[in-house]
Chain A
């Protein structure tokens, strides 16, 4: 344990990161797709000499600038802040492995936000061609940021065999490109590109729905043109998902099937459930886009547009959640577990102890330290994945048995697929068992009789 732990009651550090990330994904993908939207819309307006369109695009670019420049940038920093606290070890590993990648990302990002501002403030101040060029510079640089982050995010799920062979030898950075263009790089890029296009359409509907009533004809045109941005997703999304799915490790693919047949508990079913929510909300967006926006563009109001935005939020959120879930118990596939322990390190820690070298063990007892270091990352006491609830009435002996399974990882362990191996010496495990026993049995909560909704 090199770092202090971050204890967020009820929702857990996972959901702090998760909430920020979902918000960020909605906006950052819009920042990419919307750039392309602005460039193409402006090109169309200039070619057809439509000044009324240009005015709509100008308004949209203001909305765009505020949304992406303020909320996108702030939530992006928020992600760094929160993952640094929640998973310091993984964050450090990503930074060290992709130094060059982050540097490039930074350059693209700088160009992106600079041009976004310049683009908006030079409307009608520079000639049409220059302004269009600015639009294209923005579109290309923002797509560049997507390509880079996609390489790193897909690496976390599938680092690829070559990089994994080098992992732990100190030569990892030499395999930068193979890590970057890892097995899920391309399908994931395809998926994200489609999402960007759809979100560009979705957010454009917000601007278009607010056009005044007397501009009915213009409103109808803009709405229909925006709805078209959803068409690529409509046809290609299923294919992209299948492609992605075929590159995902076998192990993770099983999760979907498991969740089809049972609510069971926990992880297995969450991937399926999240996928169902994505499917349902996406289908609804398409239905609204067709029946309400395309068929009746003049009656399409801000309320409808906002509903679509919320549906898109639900779809993005559940997809990202599913993607995070199939990576369990790793943060970096086959290399680093969610609790920040490296796979190759486990044997060593079992020998010398998990807490022994920790600079944080002055004030806490060993059991609690073990819990904070190895469990708190995914569990809370009473809220999300409550450890009290999940211990489910086990006594001291039952707890010790379960910890032994977590530690030894026998082939039959039901936990292997979603919980990392428990690292530590027998004495440390004993201390952890005591601590858990204290949580579960000495501070006894009312035995659950409520039959109602279970927590996800």
Chain B
């Protein structure tokens, strides 16, 4: 199987869907002439022309709304946000328009749209540019929220997102774009709402998604050397969440750590822990612990940023605690 980057996996997904369905178009800042702020749409302008690969002014509220309007009357927009931090300007269109149009219109107007872009922190970009928004978005009925951690999942899920008849928020990661993995050339999709067991083990579950999948896998590798076997559940989709995959894992391991990039309060992990306490109360051998960003805006200084972010040592410490090893 070819090994490609996460960036190229995303590019391949959009390209293939644009080739397959001429209602699909890509719109956003720097997607065309500049070949993508993060080069996901490299070569697209040349291949599809400027009607289908559209550079916008810096006007997120406006072009997100343009996407929703176009979707109301039958197109299938892929709207790129340079990062999700800037999507805050467009949140009215995502939440008040896209997410509830079908419901408000009594089922008459579906909104088949994908809002996508990098989410979460990169390196030293400080407070306004280092935020993980999945818990905000997942709060909204009517939206689907996806955060793939590997190139394979990125391609398969983005294709599903583009084919889905609902608004889908697709969260990528600047730090993921250069990561590599096996991705088949042929057409495949991954169902939205299905978690993936990335590693099987019976000592403790790690439930995670997005960029943190890599951290969980490292933790699994490292702890395996001490004979600790982690069950790594990659949610892949935050909404709808694969509750069965979570509870099946915890019933097996009786212990769990929930790892996410964003903040603790009302975070994705809080929802996961709720599902666990409802369904696995009698199986638990220890309180479930969470690993997440420190409860502060992201600082610039390198040392503080490191301290603020969830990482491998913090994840391992949480596992050891849950297993009563420390």
Decide whether A and B assemble into one complex: no
Q: Which residues of B contact A (CB under 8 A)?
A: none
* Residues of A in contact with B (beta carbons under 8 Å apart): none
